[in-house]
Amino acid sequence: MDPDGLDLLAAGSLPAAWRRLAEADPDRPALWAAGPGWRSRGELAAAGARVAGRLRRAGLATGDRVLVSAATSMELVAAYLGALRLGLVVVPVNTAYREREVAHIVGDARPRAAVVDDPERGRWARAAAGGDLLVVTPEVDLPDGDPPPLDAAAPGDPALLCYTSGTTGAPKGAVLAHGNLLASAEAVRLAWRWSPEDRLVLALPLFHVHGLGVGLHGTLLAGASAVLLPRFEVGAVLDAARDHRATLFFGVPTMYARLAASPRAGELGRLRLCVSGSAPLPPTVFRRLEERAGQRVLERYGMTETVMNVSNPYVGERRPGTVGLPLPGVELRLAGGAEGEVLLRGPNVFSGYWGNQAATAEAFEAGGWFRTGDLGSFDERGYLRIEGRCKELIITGGFNVHPREVEELLLEHPGVAEAAVVGVPSEEWGEQVAAFVVPADPAAPPAPEELLAYAAERLAGFKRPRVLRYVDALPRNALGKVLKQELRA
């Protein structure tokens, strides 16, 4: 029972809640995607059970990890639901990741299987696993089998292993239990008045907690429906909202900046709720959408390790530049009192990092308070404002980029002597990656296009530097630490 007197874990688990909804009204539409069209609750439940049976026959058992990296589709959702219902631990992986990024995750998570939509990504994963890895497409085209009893996971059982950048630059695996996912989805269902009558346009990728842990989980828990889009395009989103009489849209600030710039921006006014997250929404974009569509976007605050924490109110003032008030079940305080590091506690908060006791111990304070690494302050109404990050994480287009990972890649180029990477403001992306490079030979530095291409071949698109500047030397303090604040100036 949380401090608000609500039992956010009453349903037991998301798979158990979804099964009960499917049994209660199997013919009710649940998800739509181009090609298959609408699939009902019952059809989705049956598809998940079929996948679970196939994976079980292939030798997978409760607790095994399965890497999942594919574009949004009905088949991907069925594969994901089947894995969760069987008690497997899903490891979502960004489809933009390159070989070195995939290899790190495979080496750390040690999955038994991989669901991918790109044969090359499958080869990378199998090679990193030493050849011992079952690789299938999202259709999970394996022999059918009878699954064991499904939906038996307890709230404390692991459900997701989500990799996020840490202080060392190497991604760490955050272990999210079934109870964490359920508590977060139930909290936003209550806070945003999510009902079975709602219909979400879901253009967020399902390898990201925003699309998966908020969009998909919330839709299924509420017994609502969603229109799945494989990617974000302004026209496709607005067409889907119109054609399917949608009521909800969730996006990152980059999406809202593009919607606000569209001549069709006014069409957002037909939706009852638009939610923005994963990075700060520029107040200019908030005001533009309010002026053009009468839509006051609801900004909220979440992260990989906790899914959802804080939200502007559905009923009440939505304050641009703030992320609002704690969601049901979430306890929040600032380490410095009125301003400081954001600390969180609640049933949504993860238990720790996979196989990394040192990082887990560093992430928690006494009493179970999770140290987010974000700096926050409260305004006079108690609304939380995220001021920045204690660490140097860059958030661009809703995705996390750790500077050290990009720096280390640039330093592998023979023409680079030193490199420092920072985030610089961007209205479209929130931040964009900027690299400051000291060339190995100042008289003949590599062409900027060459260095950018070098990074593009080895890093996901959102991690690639968008700004590249050559400098004679990096600014440092007396101890030799790079003064990155001077680079941002």
Residue 165: pLDDT band with limits 50, 70, 90:
low
Please report the pLDDT score of residue 4 as a whole number. Answer: 58
d(CA 435, CA 464): 9
Distances (CA, A) of 251 to 85, 248, 257, 295, 296: 28, 10, 10, 14, 14
Please determine, for residue 431, whether its predicted confidence score (pLDDT) is greater than 70: yes
Q: Which of 430, 435, 431 is nearest to 455 (CA)?
A: 435
Name the one residue in this structure whose structure tokens are 């790079």.
482
> Boundaries of CATH 3.40.50.12780 in the chain?
14-386
d(CA 44, CA 35): 15
d(CA 438, CA 87): 50
Residue 267: pLDDT band with limits 50, 70, 90:
very high
Mean of pLDDT over the chain = 93
Q: What is the pLDDT of residues 434-471, one digit of tens each?
A: 999 999 999 999 999 999 999 999 999 999 999 999 99
Please report the pLDDT score of residue 167 as a whole number. Answer: 36
Q: What is the pLDDT of residues 377-395, one digit of tens each?
A: 899 999 998 876 676 778 8
Q: Which of 268, 255, 147, 257 is nearest to 210 (CA)?
A: 255
Please report the pLDDT score of residue 166 as a whole number. Answer: 44
Instruction: Report the residue count for the chain.
Output: 489
Report the C-alpha dihedral over residues 434, 438, 444, 447, rounded to 10 degrees: -10
Q: Name the β-bridge partners of 418.
A: 438
Q: Which of 90, 368, 400 is nearest to 217 (CA)?
A: 90
DSSP H helix total and E strand total for the chain: 15, 26
d(CA 18, CA 40): 12
Burial of 381 (0-12, 13-18, 19+ CB in 10 A): exposed
> Boundaries of CATH 3.30.300.30 in the chain?
394-488
Compute the average pLDDT of residues 280-294. 91
Residue 462, φ and ψ in degrees, nearest 5: -75, -15
Q: What is the pLDDT of residues 396-422, one digit of tens each?
A: 999 988 787 898 899 899 999 889 999
Percentage of the chain beyond pLDDT 70 is: 96
d(CA 433, CA 451): 14
| Strand 430-439 versus strand 467-470 pairing type | parallel
Q: Name the β-bridge partners of 390.
A: none
Residue 478: pLDDT band with limits 50, 70, 90:
very low
Among the residue ranges 90-94, 192-196, 209-213, 281-285, the one predicted with the least confidence is 281-285
Q: Which amino acid is at 332?
A: L
Compute the average pLDDT of residues 154-160. 97
Residue 144, φ and ψ in degrees, nearest 5: -65, 155
Please report the pLDDT score of residue 142 as a whole number. Answer: 98
Q: Which amino acid is at 144?
A: D
Architecture of domain 394-488: 2-Layer Sandwich (3.30)
Distances (CA, A) of 194 to 191, 200, 217, 346: 8, 10, 12, 21
Compute the average pLDDT of residues 427-431. 91
Q: What is the pLDDT of residues 48-98, one digit of tens each?
A: 999 999 999 999 999 999 999 999 999 999 999 999 999 999 999 999 999
DSSP summary character for residue 256: H
Name the one residue in this structure whose structure tokens are 């990092």.
353
Please report the pLDDT score of residue 235 as a whole number. Answer: 98
- Contact (CB, 8 A) for 271 and 295: yes
Please report the pLDDT score of residue 477 as a whole number. Answer: 65
Please report the pLDDT score of residue 203 as a whole number. Answer: 97
CATH number for 14-386 (one of 2.102.10.10, 3.40.50.12780, 3.40.50.970, 3.90.1300.10): it is 3.40.50.12780
Angle CA(176)–CA(100)–CA(212) in degrees, nearest 5? 30
Please determine, for residue 3, whether its predicted confidence score (pLDDT) is greater than 60: no
Please give the structure tokens belonging to residue 280: 């700060």
For residue 455, count other CB atoms closer than 10 A to its CB.
Answer: 19
Compute the average pLDDT of residues 165-172. 60
Compute the average pLDDT of residues 285-291. 94
DSSP summary character for residue 359: H
Question: How close are the terminal C-alpha atoms of the chain, in Å?
Answer: 48
